[in-house]
Structure 1
């Protein structure tokens, strides 16, 4: 019964890691529908206005034939422009619906499997690992490598290359000292950002004002910028608005690079902070996790393996974070393997994860320790020895194949 529970797939736990896979196309479909709706409303209003002017002019006798033809041409041009926009939205909608169908089919494959022993699970888990790797590469800015990897694996519909590439482009533009791309993105998602009560656009406008002060713009233009973009948010960001007014009263000195107490606003580190704020807002808006899913999956596995004995030296001396504890076992080839939690590659990720919480331990009855350090149940060792035709006074290691005398075994007690 215990072995069955151990190998059984808990589908609800698995699906927690795959929520962004399903939710992102849905969020993008909402954005696409909103764009189509705005285009229809805007162009339809223009066409109705031209039609009303043309009809009124004809009834009043104020428009001649040339004016009527001109109005009709304008209406046709606007109708064609609306058709192009709606067609583009329809193509994007079809692409997203196909992507959503492929992702649902991928997740549905998991529910057709009942245990980890299923031969199909290895292939499915390999696809998921590839997805996590592509997601990690995209978040770290390796866009070309990630796109090539997704193409080679034929999994373009299962990864979010376009979305994360666009996010990286805007993030990098902020790090380079430009707010234009980020402001365009805020304009496209203004309604949703307002619902989220996001301060991203205010921070961008504030930085825009700081750059105006740094470049020595006209005080009148700076004051107009404050009135238009900053003072409407005075109730939410009072200290920032006061700082902007102070910067206007005490201009930035480009020679000494002093600003009478406002140096933090002129610091290059603010661009990294803006990039971080944009990334967090973008992920929250599209229901994407803040950390790469690969980190989430690794942290889950490390937490299941972590014990109080792991990383003892790191807890004793956080400044050096040197690991002296080494939980090792002997592999079938005879080579020692290091505990993953204590390994140099994963120790930084594992140091903050919680310890494993096991409500039930499955331990074999009457344990015996072999001279090589491996531990097995006595009954299993005897069954294994009989299977290979060994004498009654000998046992065989189930993994390494080493043979030992039964007298060399030591009894193991768990306290």
Structure 2
């Protein structure tokens, strides 16, 4: 890991950023930063932000919904960008091949999810932030919520790629399984993340690392931390700054799961139904309780009724059982990471909290009842952190920071929101804790 490449970020001329007390962040290299002893940062991005390369072996056979030509490159030892290849996914001639090769299958013998036979994948540029977002389309709006702007701002306050700034991309098709169950992709990621954190600490004189996460990256970080030994956490992790992540799932995926049931074979929406992550963000019973989340004339579906909802939108009995045995225990088992933690979240943005399919036809767009949140994460889910994390007697430092009118992606890309996120990162650098 000591050979991680160095990348000097471009220093852009940006408006000043501000600390939480309202004072402006000085320009880069200003003498005020001499008092900030920067700790290394490892960034964990949100869902779909990590790029994947793929190779096709002789074992690969296109599925019935994909053209036979999709196997033309197999066995040639050629690696190519599988995700996110915006050019290919936007080309009707080759998009079915890419969606076919992105599929995930559940291997009953291994009791785990894996790629389809003959497709080998690897995460691009692990250890750096260069694998975040789509690199073949600079205009891709997803780049904004994949830490692109955040890394530029961190560069202005003294962070340098490969020196004290690192990235931990991951294959977002996979998620953790409950302890004791096989989850090879998550196990490989956590092993790599552990080595990266130790490397970042050694490279910076033994300083513990600050983990900065967005959205699903927060869930990955929390699962990683809760499964790490206490002495290791205390030595290597100074602080977790978790942005836009709740403790109890969200309502938005219920709408996308319903719609994907009617997407054409070979489409990306159909492919995504195969992912291990497909159930990971569904509402938790511990947070949403028996509130009706999906309403029809014949019946309502609460968080307790998600197995029945999944069956109603076309998931097989085996798939529903995977939700019960793999996703649900992790979902309801969200715990305090037991490292100093700051949770930053948006509010004041209309966020789906109830979906009305009155005639029971899930192929149609629902009437959406909106509540509070950041447009994706419901406020009730982030407020649950106060109980799950704040009330844990072994947690120690915990702080929740609300940013009004910050959207789910805008919180790490819009200037007014990034001001506060950056100020919390600086405060984490300065903070001292009783351990």
TM interval, short-chain normalised: under 0.3
Flag the structure with larger Rg.
1
Question: What is the TM-score when the length of structure 1 is the normalising length?
Answer: 0.23
Greater helix share, structure number: 1
Question: What is the TM-score when the length of structure 2 is the normalising length?
Answer: 0.22
